Chain A
């Protein structure tokens, strides 16, 4: 039964690409937002905090539909991006990556924020007295010390992105080869007569991917902790 068909390979490859791009683009933004929330006080901070966690509590279909309204061909942002930068999200794999990025953002930001909050501010003060400007304090002290949290956030975000279904299928539909990820392929297969074997194969693949991600994150975290504490 373990004869993965070309369509299934396409779905697997697409899922990996979508989740990787979503995670890589979301990580720097997530680090910036996490730092702002952990280290700065500004007007509207609680609003931003709530907005970031919204995709976690909203029905995914609602998030997907909002994305369609905003980033669709006729959406406010979508039309502008298509006209001026030639970036199209609607019914493209890039749209799937956007949906996955938005849906996984809260899971990505939270561990990063917690680990930045855990960095001793006294060390940042010491760096300042040694002549480090704020952005260099961040790059040489805060970020390296928060690295285990950054890795944890990336793995969590990646795992969420690879399994995302509701928002993706609402926003970019379920087009084989373009937007059909593992999750939507499994969904399609369960709706097809004789699709059980193929669906099971993809289920096994997604279990394997999730387990690999978890083990990798555990290894990264251990190595990072060892490196940081010098033992």
Chain B
């Protein structure tokens, strides 16, 4: 269970969010500029909140009053960024193995094979990220995060940088990921249609505050794509 209760002043903007989530996929929904990325950066440990607590399954990651801030590299929280962020100097195989090596986990060929098949990236293993298409890069990024064996997976608009065709190409992999990988996820998106397909629970964020929380039905009436963020 993920438990977040934090606040952070970001320039003029105050981000205040408190929610508990037990769903398999928690959809974090809101327009761009609502504070979604800042919020999951705090969960990942990349940004320190000004106040509050974050915990997973009773394990405290942040408790500012008690001076607890577990650094990102000790959290075991996977993160798939909008812009993949594969290491350009490493092959796809080395990118996939990176998290296992850094966490000093034993080699698990069976899991690697499963992930590679799930994401259909077997034919890309020898390549460098520079030789991959956007969609392929994003699939490798999913695999890299999964193979570090995280206890929670954060996905920040993982389809945001892709065109419609590529999105439709990736969505089925995400559905399989949700159903087969067995790792709880927080999925950030401004696209209600995407979240209807994937999320089991929704946290709706507006101007730094949570305006709704509940099942996928809270998305009713929400625009399937936010026009403002489209113009960026």
Q: A interface vs B, CB < 8 Å?
A: 120, 122-123, 125-134, 136-137, 140-141, 144-145, 227-231
Contacts and interface: CB of A to CB of B under 8 A. Distances in A.
A123 B79 CA distance: 12
A221 to B, nearest CB: 15
A25 B16 CA distance: 51
A130 B90 CA distance: 15
Nearest to A130: B99
Contact of A131 (B85, B88, B127, B148): B148
Interface in B72-115: 72-79, 81, 83, 85, 87-89, 91, 98-99, 102-103
Given A228-B88, A230-B131, A131 B103 contact: yes
A136 B88 CA distance: 17
B71 A129 contact: no
B203 interface: no
A229 B77 contact: no
Contact of A130 (B45, B83, B129, B148): B148
B145 interface: yes
Contacts of A134: 73
Contacts of A125: 46, 72, 85
B130 A230 contact: yes
B144 interface: yes
A129 B128 contact: no
A122 B85 contact: yes
Given A131-B73, A145-B88, A231-B130, A136 B81 contact: no
A130 B88 contact: no
Interface string B48-90: 0000000000000000000000011111111101010101110
B89 A228 contact: yes
Given A128-B72, A129-B78, A231-B130, A144 B103 contact: no
